[in-house]
Structures are given as C-alpha cells and as structure tokens.
Amino acid sequence: MKPVNIGFNNMVMDERIVAIINPDSAPSRRLREEAKLENRLIDATLGKKTKTLIITDSNHVIMSAINPETISLRIGKGE
C-alpha cells in the first residue's frame, strides 16, 4: 500500500482506490450528491474546481482538483 498525492498534500492509499472518474457527467453528479447526503463525500479541493472523483473500496467519494490522468500516472509511478 502506497499513498498517492491527490493534491494539496492530501493522500489516498493506492489499494483503496476503486475508480477515478470525471465529475461532469450526470451519473457522476448523482453519485456525488448521494455521497453528500450519506456523509460519504470528502472534499480535498481546497475550494478549487473539482476535476476528479475518486471512489474508494469503503464507498467514499473523494473530490480532487487534480486531473484524472495525473492521478492515474501517480498511481502507476508509485508516487
């Protein structure tokens, strides 16, 4: 298990990540809203625009201001 920087020195363990998705589609917006209502939404954007939703194995949804491609590269490199 290695931590992955998802922006602003926030980390997620790489083995806990199930999906990295774009937040602009209607299903993504519904997923974010449901997570917010169920207190499963974590905002790691520090007020910036959300560019990525990270889904974890604990069913939490993490909002990040980093591009999905950048996060996937960081996972691949083991950063």
Tens digits of residue pLDDT in 5-31: 999 999 999 999 999 999 999 999 999
pTM above 0.85, yes or no: yes
Domain chopping of the chain, boundaries:
3-77
Percent of the chain with pLDDT over 90: 94
Q: What is the DSSP letter of 46?
A: T
Q: Are the C-beta atoms of 1 and 72 separated by less than 8 Å?
A: no
Nearest residue to 61 (alpha-carbon basis) of 40, 45, 37: 40
Q: Are strands 61-64 and 41-43 parallel, antiparallel or unpaired?
A: parallel
In this structure, the number of other CB atoms found within 10 A of the CB of residue 18 comes to 13
